[in-house]
Amino acid sequence: MSVTEPLLTTPLTAAHRAMGARMVAFAGYDMPVQYQDGVLAEHRWTREHAGLFDVSHMGPAWLRLAAPGGDAEADHAAVAALVEPMVSGDVAGLKPGQLRYTLLLAEDGGLLDDLMVGRPAAPEGQGALYLVVNAATKAQDFRLLAEAAGPAARLERADAGGLIALQGPEAAAVLSAVWPGAGDLGFMRFAAFELDGAAFTVSRSGYTGEDGFEILAPADAARTLWARLLADARVRPAGLGARDSLRLEAGLPLYGHDADPSVSPYEAALDFAVSRRRLQDGSLRGLHRLAAERSGALERRRVGLKVEGAPAREGAEIVHDGAVVGRVTSGGFSPSLSAPVAMGFVPPALAAPGTPLSVLVRGRPQPAVVAPLPFVPHRYARKA
């Protein structure tokens, strides 16, 4: 987006301004970074109760077969075959109602984006996939996915509506008061719901490390739902600042910072997102690189760092025995730990938890130690 172009807005922009949010430019959108209580209070409220986030700048979409045959499994296999060559995960193996985190791969195995892909639960929804990509890369991602699908399927963008994230230990109870069945969803499951004649897509997912939900809605319905959720005393609005500090504590990478086209899934410590079946059958993009890295030919690895002193921000150099061995890609103060934490890349020989390192903050070395990720345990609602 050119600097002369106006910022895009979401269906909730007017609501943010009415609540006194501090707005910033993010991925071409005018977005709330914090409200009047501030980032620290919003972070802690989400950890203890339920934070409400506007993530409508993200890229939700549906990929639908142009001519489904009516056989649920065959239709799913057909639409999965269009997407699988582009990503690292097992799309064909998705069960009805299942959502999966996966990675959009370049030809050499580098990361073009990370995204969610889901198979609808309803029989009449087979032959479609629900997709959510990152805001800054959605134009590229949508183009690549549409090109890969060709005439066999159509990509329907849904980013003109609202996407709301309700996150925290009280999120399930809050949302169950709106839809009694929502609390029955397990982690990384999604389903269709209705309210006042409007259609919603509700997934038990999020990017804070907390239990929670993401809700896709038409624009007007999103505004109504936002107000209804905020009327619950357990819910308070939270901005991009708290979302970032929460995902950092959860050890979750932010695309464009902790991942980019030069970084592979194994370098990013996202091994779980690479399908073993796809590795074995040789259908992964960048197979030569990924297979070699999985076998030990890895030059760097994303790690967590606990830092003494001032927070180490993105770009800070990581030092071992007087030599620069890497750089911080995300860093800040952890409200939950009351201490600075960071993530960055180091050689595999220095990636073991407990390895002593240092980081240069304003040119001065500060002690740091490699720490297991996540810094704060995830509290996802996993069900058998």
DSSP character for 184? Answer: G
Share of the chain above pLDDT 90, in %: 98
Last residue of a domain, one of 121, 152, 183: 152
Averaged pLDDT, 282-292: 96
The domain that holds 75 is classified in CATH as: 3.30.70.1400
pLDDT above 60 for 3: no
pLDDT at position 117:
98
Asked whether 148 and 86 are in contact (CB, 8 A), the reply is yes
Q: Does residue 264 sit within a domain?
A: no
Distance CA 214, CA 228 (A): 15
Which residues form the domain of 82? 59-152
pLDDT at position 5:
82
Number of structural domains the chain divides into:
3
pLDDT at position 1:
46
* Distant-in-sequence contacts of 67-75, Cβ < 8 A, 24+ apart: 68/126, 68/127, 69/127, 72/96, 72/123, 72/126, 73/126, 75/126, 75/127
Q: Does residue 241 sit within a domain?
A: yes
- Considering the domain architecture, whether residues 326 and 356 belong to the same structural domain is answered as yes
- Considering the domain architecture, whether residues 117 and 164 belong to the same structural domain is answered as no
Averaged pLDDT, 87-104: 98
Q: Any alpha helices (H) in 190-307, and if so which ranges?
A: 219-230, 240-249, 276-281, 287-294
pLDDT at position 383:
78
Q: Does residue 271 sit within a domain?
A: no
- Considering the domain architecture, whether residues 42 and 63 belong to the same structural domain is answered as no
Centre a 10 Å sphere on the Cβ of residue 54 and count the other Cβ atoms it contains: 27
pTM: 0.96
- Considering the domain architecture, whether residues 95 and 31 belong to the same structural domain is answered as no
The mean pLDDT value of the chain amounts to 97
Q: Does residue 331 sit within a domain?
A: yes
Q: Does residue 263 sit within a domain?
A: no
Q: Does residue 266 sit within a domain?
A: no
The domain that holds 365 is classified in CATH as: 2.40.30.110
pLDDT tens, 187-244?
Answer: 999 999 999 999 999 999 999 999 999 999 999 999 999 999 999 999 999 999 999 9
Q: Does residue 25 sit within a domain?
A: yes
pLDDT above 70 for 303: yes
Confidence of residue 2 (pLDDT cuts 50, 70, 90): very low
pLDDT at position 94:
98
The strand pair at 190-195 and 198-203 is best described as antiparallel
pLDDT tens, 250-276?
Answer: 999 999 999 999 999 999 999 999 999
* Residue 374, preceding peptide bond in cis (omega within 30° of 0): yes
- Considering the domain architecture, whether residues 177 and 241 belong to the same structural domain is answered as yes
Q: Does residue 351 sit within a domain?
A: yes
Closest to 224 in 3D by CA, of 5, 11, 8, 4:
11
Distance CA 95, CA 90 (A): 11
Distance CA 372, CA 376 (A): 10
